[in-house]
Amino acid sequence: MTAIEKPDHLPQEAVLPLLRKLPDLGNTTTIVLHGGCVFEYKGRFPEGTLAEGFYNLHGESAAAGYEGFEGHLRLEAMTRVRFQDRPHRGRASFAFVFEDDKGHCLFKVFLGRDADGELVPEQLAFFERLRQGGSLSGEPAA
């Protein structure tokens, strides 16, 4: 990869660290496509715990101030996270696309928007840092 090319995805070993980082971003939009249906959740991506090869999302936490979205994500099924950067309804839109080994979308997590409908700047900076090869811990790219 040359200095001007951007990686188009994160490798499988970055899936779990990214899942653990998503709750820190604040409100996002998670999209699950299945059988011609679209499930959409707007809010903070839930924290989770590991058990038996799954990352179990804990959507209800009154102490943390959010509730609702839960699930069980089979880590070995997610082989990469692609960076999606394309307009949606005429506006910039960015998402982390969790894919399987055939490149099929398992789910997407879109960057959030503020009350004026603008992208949250800190989330966009995080997305761009990862796309430029930066680490999930916030350290600059090597």
31-35, 114-118, 135-139: range with lowest mean pLDDT: 135-139
| Domains along the sequence of the chain with CATH | 9-131 (3.40.1570.10)
Percent pLDDT > 90 in the chain is 73
Given a cut of 80, whether residue 13 has pLDDT beyond it is yes
Given a cut of 50, whether residue 140 has pLDDT beyond it is no
Given a cut of 90, whether residue 129 has pLDDT beyond it is yes
Tens digits of per-residue pLDDT, 59-103? Answer: 766 565 656 788 999 999 999 999 999 988 889 999 999 999 999
Instruction: For 111, list phi and psi in degrees, rounded to 5.
Output: -60, 150
Closest CA to 91 of 118, 116, 114: 118
- The total number of residues shown for the chain amounts to 142
Given a cut of 50, whether residue 37 has pLDDT beyond it is yes
Given a cut of 70, whether residue 6 has pLDDT beyond it is no
Closest CA to 96 of 116, 58, 122, 126: 126
Closest CA to 8 of 82, 78, 79, 96: 82
Enumerate residues 6+ apart whose C-beta is below 8 A from 75: 15, 16, 50, 53, 54, 55
Pairing of strands 9-11, 80-85: antiparallel
